[in-house]
Chain A
Amino acid sequence: MKKFIIALSILTIGANTGFAQKVMTRTAKISFTATAASSPEKIDAINNEVANIVDTKTGDLVFQVLVKSFKFERALMQEHFNENYMESDKFPKAEFKGAIANMADVNFTKDGTYNAKVGGKLTIHGVTNDVSVPGTITVKGNSYTLKAKFPVTLADYKIAIPGVVADKINKVATITLESNLTQK
């Protein structure tokens, strides 16, 4: 009977941690800026509706971004972004699927800030590329904060910039990401 109880508690604990190793949020934030040096107008946007799943055991990461959720200061810019550049009717989602490459350096059970190297596949505008992005992971109790800042070359994702605005839009957009997750 004792053995049975021990076995049962091990099983329960196992099942619990198994269930709890994945954390998710649907309110991660991604912003980008693509303002060229000579542009009088800021070309940047914010998306507060990014979905993110982190597997704290394996280091697997998924980010899903609804392109239409990006908000610009100017409605016209937002329209052009969706219609001419991202073609968001055709490609409503951008996605990153990858993993923390240096899981040995990241401890999700101990408070602290860790440098993470994340590698995986980034899909934007229907084009997928292998990317490697540095970032930080801050662990505080059962809360985790993921941060990263990285460049995306628009041509790599077949995003064309028309000649008339070529001096306004930077050919490389800077992406800033922050995701706050809490283990429930």
Chain B
Amino acid sequence: MLKKISVVLGFLIIIGVCTAYYMWTKPAPKAEDIKGITMTAVQLNKEFTADETKANASYLDKVIEISGTVTDVSANQDGGIVMILDSGDPMAGVQCTMRDKGAKVAKGQTVTIKGFCRGNNMGVALNDCVIK
């Protein structure tokens, strides 16, 4: 009886340790693995401008498959590629930070990318983006 209990207990401990290890080392979710919400940069900006609380509830942390025209490409302080998609409001373009530092995008290009929506600060921001 005692033997049985210790076998079961040992088994449970192994499962527990494995789960904990898996949880602890699990990788960050990738945009390409998740089905995105398809929309244009103009549409997304419109929703955030109309009702930010509602838009946050719908889009925060969600993957968005966004399309638009690149109006600016720059690098952030850590060398990340940041592009701005035309949202119809020149003061609040949709800002997309690419996951890959070697991502090739050019001003004037029309692109479709996938990324995680992080909210609205002077324009909607997406990060961990990949080119579709």
Contact = CB atoms under 8 A, between A and B. Distances in A.
Contacts, number: 76
Interface centre among B25, B61, B122 (most CB of A within 10 A): B122
A95 to B, nearest CB: 9
Interface of A: 24, 26-27, 29, 46, 48-51, 53, 64-69, 71, 74-76, 78, 82, 88-89, 92-93, 178, 180
Given A29-B78, A92-B119, A69 B127 contact: yes
Contact of B118 (A27, A46, A69): A69
A78 B61 CA distance: 12
B121 A26 contact: yes
B118 A76 contact: no
Contact of B28 (A50, A64, A75, A82): A75
29 contacts: A26-B95, A29-B77, A29-B78, A48-B76, A48-B80, A49-B95, A49-B121, A49-B125, A51-B121, A64-B121, A65-B121, A66-B118, A66-B119, A66-B120, A66-B121, A66-B125, A68-B61, A68-B116, A68-B118, A69-B118, A69-B125, A71-B127, A75-B27, A76-B24, A82-B61, A89-B56, A92-B56, A93-B121, A180-B77
A67 B24 CA distance: 21
- Main SS at interface, chain A: strand
Chain B contact patch, size range: 20 to 34
Given A49-B118, A68-B119, A92-B60, A27 B23 contact: no
A173 to B, nearest CB: 20
B97 interface: yes
A151 to B, nearest CB: 22
A49 B76 CA distance: 8
